[in-house]
Amino acid sequence: MTTLLIADDHPLYRDALRGALSLSLPALTLSEAGDLTSTVDILNREDIDLLLLDLHMPGSNDLFGLIHIRKLFPDVPVAVVSGTEDTQLISKIMSAGALGFIPKTASSGDIANAVQAILDGDVWLPPNLSDSVDEIDEEFSELADNVASLTPSQYKVLCFMRDGLLNKQIGYNLDIAEATVKAHVTAIFKKLGINNRTQAVLIASQLELEPPATSDH
pLDDT digits (tens, 9 = 90+) for 167-212: 999 999 999 999 999 999 999 999 999 999 999 999 888 776 444 4
Q: What pTM does this model have?
A: 0.82
Q: What are phi and psi of 106, to 5 degrees?
A: -65, 150
- Put residue 81 in one of left, alpha, beta given phi > 0 → left and psi -120 to 50 → alpha: beta
Domains of the chain in sequence order: 3-119 (3.40.50.2300), 149-206 (1.10.10.10)
pLDDT digits (tens, 9 = 90+) for 22-65: 888 888 899 999 999 999 999 999 999 999 999 888 877 678 88
Classify residue 173 as exposed, middle or buried by CB count within 10 Å of its CB (0-12, 13-18, 19+). buried
